[in-house]
Amino acid sequence: MTVKCDLELKPQDVTSPRWKEECGVAGVWAPGRSVVDLCYLGLFALQHRGQESAGLAVTDGLHIDMERGMGLMREAFRHRLPSLKGHAAIGHVRYSTCGASLFNNIQPIFAYFSGGFICLAHNGSLTNAPSLRRRLEKDGCVFQTGTDTEAILNLIARDGAQTTEEKIAASLQQIEGAYSLTIMTGDRLIGVRDPYGFRPLCLGSLPGGGYVLASESCALDAAGAEFIRDVAPGEMLIIDRDGLHSRIIGARPRLARCVFEYIYFARPDSVLDGLSVWQARYRLGQQLAREFTGAADMVTPVPDTGITAALGFAAESGLPYVEGLIKNRYVGRTFILPDQAERQSTVEMKLNPIRANLKDKRVVLVDDSLVRGTTSASLISLIRRAGAGEVHFCISSPPITHPCYYGIDTAVRKELIASHKTVDEIRRIISADGLQYLSRPGLMGAVGDPEEKLMCGACFSGEYPTSVKDVENKECK
Least distance to ligand SF4, CB of residue 263, Å:
8
Residue 21, strand partner residues: 96
* Cβ atoms 118, 110 nearer than 8 A: yes
Could you tell me the smallest distance in angstroms from the CB atom of residue 460 to ligand SF4?
Answer: 7
**What are the C-alpha distances in Å from 22 to residues 17, 260, 298, 356?**
16, 12, 34, 38
| Minimal distance, residue 457 CB to ligand SF4, in Å | 5
Q: Does 249 bind ligand SF4 (CB under 6 A)?
A: no
Total of residues contacting ligand SF4 (CB under 6 A): 12
**In this structure, are strands 257-258 and 455-456 parallel, antiparallel, or unpaired?**
parallel
What is the rounded distance in angstroms from the CA atom of residue 460 to the CA atom of residue 399? 6
State which of residues 225, 231, 258, 416 lies at the interface with ligand SF4 (CB under 6 A): 258
Least distance from ligand SF4 to the Cβ atom of residue 266, Å: 11
Residue 39 vs 181, nearer CB to ligand SF4 = 181
Binding mask 355-394 for ligand SF4 (x = CB under 6 A): ----------------------------------------
Site for ligand SF4 in 431-460 (CB under 6 A): 456-459
Strands 226-230 and 211-214, sheet pairing: unpaired
CB of 407 to ligand SF4, least distance (A): 7
Give the whole-angstrom CA distance, residue 344 versus residue 334: 8
- CB atoms under 10 Å from CB of 329, counted, come to 8
Toward ligand SF4, which CB reaches closer, 382 or 456? 456
Is 23 marked active-site?
A: yes
The residues near 343 (Cβ < 8 Å, ≥ 6 apart) are 334, 335, 337, 372, 374, 375
Vertex 218: Cα angle to 61 and 206 (nearest 5): 40
Task: Point out which span in 256-264, 268-276, 350-358, 440-448 binds ligand SF4 (CB under 6 A).
Answer: 256-264
Q: Can you tell me which of 66, 98, 404, 468 binds ligand SF4, judged by CB under 6 A?
A: 404
CA-to-CA distance for 24 and 214, rounded, in angstroms? 8
Determine which one of 23, 202, 218, 258 is catalytic: 23
* Local structure of 117: helix, strand or coil: strand
108 touching ligand SF4, by CB under 6 A: no
Between 77 and 198, whose beta carbon lies closer to ligand SF4?
Answer: 198
**How many Å apart are CA 108 and CA 145, to the nearest integer?**
11
Stretch of residues binding ligand SF4 (CB under 6 A), selected from 157-165, 275-283, 354-362, 400-408? 400-408
CB of 327 to ligand SF4, least distance (A): 24
CB of 344 to ligand SF4, least distance (A): 23
Which 180-209 positions form the footprint of ligand SF4 (CB under 6 A)? 198
Q: Is the Cβ–Cβ distance between 29 and 203 less than 8 Å?
A: no
Asked if 177 is part of the footprint of ligand SF4 (rule: CB under 6 A), the reply reads: no
Give the range of 183-191, 267-275, 340-348, 402-410 binding ligand SF4 by CB under 6 A: 402-410
What pairs with residue 66 in β-bridges? Answer: 57
Q: Exactly one of 29, 40, 260, 278 binds ligand SF4 (CB under 6 A); which one?
A: 260
> Is 210 or 398 the residue whose CB approaches ligand SF4 more closely?
398
DSSP for 244-277 reads EEEEE-S--S---EETHIIIIIS-TT-EETTEEH
Question: Cα separations (Å) of 133 from 137, 139, 223, 284, 344?
Answer: 6, 10, 36, 40, 35
Please choose, out of 93-101, 134-142, 258-266, 467-475, the segment that lies near ligand SF4 by the rule CB under 6 A: 258-266
The Cα–Cα gap between 476 and 107 comes to 30
Binding site for ligand SF4 (CB under 6 A): 198, 258-260, 404, 406, 408, 410, 456-459
Active site residues: 23
